[in-house]
Amino acid sequence: MSYTQAQDETARTEHGSSHAFRIDPLRGEILRHHEHVEVIDTRAGFDALKDGWSDLFERAGDATNVFQSHAWLWNWANHYLDETTRLAIIIGSIDGRLVMAWPLAMVGAAPFRQLRWMGEPVSQYGDVLVENGVERDHWLQAGWEKARSVGADVAYLRKVRDGSNAARILRMNGCAAVARHEAPYVTLDGAQDFETYEKRWPAKLRSSRRRYARRLESEGDITFEEHTSGARAWELTNWAIHYKKDWVKAKGIVAPALMDPRFQRFFADVALGQGHCPPIRVVAVLCDQKPIGVEISIICKGHLFGHVISQNRDFEKKGVGSVLTEFAVRAAHRKGYAIYDLLAPSNPHKLEWADGRMETADWAASFSLTGVLYGQLWLRLGRPWLKRAIDGLRGRAGSGFARLVGSKASGKLAVASNEQD
């Protein structure tokens, strides 16, 4: 029996444990390992996984797994866990060493319960952490079978990257992709200085950006700031969320996740950087020392993930958005980041800067008749129709409609019409 065929004698228990026999490829000895798959449904249990989870993240996670880091999810749990959102994490271990983590949460209560990704609505990519190797699919399948058994009616797993562990196991089990999205990104390598790098864009576009910069300079003294964490990053983050809320209200965009106070509190805590926090970058454009444009990015393994970009509406037509984005890209290039991911959804402003796109999908799997009806009637038909209807209402009901929905947002509404959905 070869090492790569190590799916041999396995004695499984009703608690998800197993004893697997393996061949040591160097010594030729038969080794007996204790495998275990279990559900973690308490905050204390999740907190206790910090070291093992972080070690797994370093071994098996890539940059796009930034939203599966223990630090990111720990901060999410501080703000979003409540009586209707509970942990349902699936973990797998060998001899006590963590080799798999499905960061899941149970949302709702009987008669209808959903499995969602931990991190919603602040996370942007959903995935499973699993140790690489010949047994990756074995662990993914074991985790999926355990997830099916926790009592949910449906698993609704959003923003799953094509090619990710989650996409692989969901596709293998015949789950349905109910919506697709694109996440534009900017590749930052290939040039020693930004002046050389920016020649990849058409001359007309570069000229237009310089014109915006001159127009903005006519408004006052324009300066720039960049911070990683601390009091100033916290202050600029609050400005960013304030401007973003003001912008979506003015545009008549329904964004309940953004309007939920927990969204701002989450990012403010992460920006402050005290305790167990993921690395963050905050850049800003200031006019006469007042922030007029702010961008918040998450840092992970040489990549930047541009999560929030916002601007003072009074300067929108002066080109502050273009000036802010150019500074954000320039600063990322100067620091040596390989990729600046602009995240989903795609829009014309992002595509103006991007040179690549990552495909993502929302997946659904039903475990009960209620789940089947939810997946077929709501996710496939009702939700897309409602989003189109909301978009169509913008011009007529406009900002009043958005304010009405935003004021009642609790972060659990399943429909939104733009970036913070």
Length of the chain as a residue count: 421
**Threshold 0.85, pTM exceeds:** yes
Strand order in the sheet with 290-300: 85-87, 104-109, 112-117, 154-161, 356-366, 176-187, 339-341, 303-311, 290-300, 280-287, 222-227
User: Any residues with CB less than 8 A from the CB of 9 and at least 6 apart, and which?
Assistant: 20, 21
126: tokens are: 């959903």
- pLDDT value at residue 121: 97
Give the pairing of strands 339-341 and 303-311.
Answer: parallel
Q: How far is CA 387 from CA 78, 254, 408, in A?
A: 30, 9, 18
- pLDDT value at residue 190: 81
Angle (CA) 301-303-308 rounded to 5° is 125
CA 328 – CA 180 distance, rounded (Å): 27
CA 291 – CA 271 distance, rounded (Å): 16
DSSP 3: G
CA 403 – CA 399 distance, rounded (Å): 6
User: Any residues with CB less than 8 A from the CB of 126 and at least 6 apart, and which?
Assistant: 67, 117, 119, 157, 158, 159, 160, 166
Which of 411, 343, 31 lies closest to 161 in space, CA to CA? 343
DSSP letters spanning 252-303: T---HHHHSHHHHHHHHHHHHT-SS---EEEEEEEETTEEEEEEEEEEETTE
32 Ramachandran zone, left/alpha/beta (phi>0; psi -120 to 50): beta
Which of 16, 2, 112 lies closest to 412 in space, CA to CA? 112
How many beta carbons lie within 10 A of that of residue 365, not counting itself?
20
Hey, is 313 helix, strand or coil? helix
Backbone φ and ψ of 153, nearest 5°: -85, -30
- pLDDT value at residue 405: 52
CA 234 – CA 267 distance, rounded (Å): 8
369: tokens are: 């008749």
Digits of tens for pLDDT over the chain (421 positions)?
A: 332 333 333 333 334 666 555 555 444 444 457 899 999 999 999 999 999 999 999 999 999 999 999 999 999 999 999 999 999 999 999 999 999 999 999 999 888 999 999 999 999 999 999 999 989 999 999 999 999 999 999 999 999 999 999 999 999 999 999 999 999 999 998 888 999 999 999 999 999 999 999 999 999 999 999 999 999 999 999 999 999 999 999 988 889 999 999 999 999 999 999 889 999 999 999 999 999 999 999 999 999 999 999 999 999 999 999 999 999 999 999 999 999 999 999 999 999 999 999 999 999 999 998 888 888 777 877 777 777 777 677 655 555 555 555 454 443 333 333 344 4
Which of 282, 281, 288 lies closest to 223 in space, CA to CA? 288
- Which residue segments constitute the domains of the chain, with CATH numbers given? 3-174 (3.40.630), 185-359 (3.40.630.30)
Instruction: Using the CB atoms, write b or e for 115-135: b if 16+ within 10 Å.
Output: bbbbbbbbbbbbbbbbbeeeb
Hey, is 154 helix, strand or coil? strand
Peptide bond into 261 cis (omega under 30): no
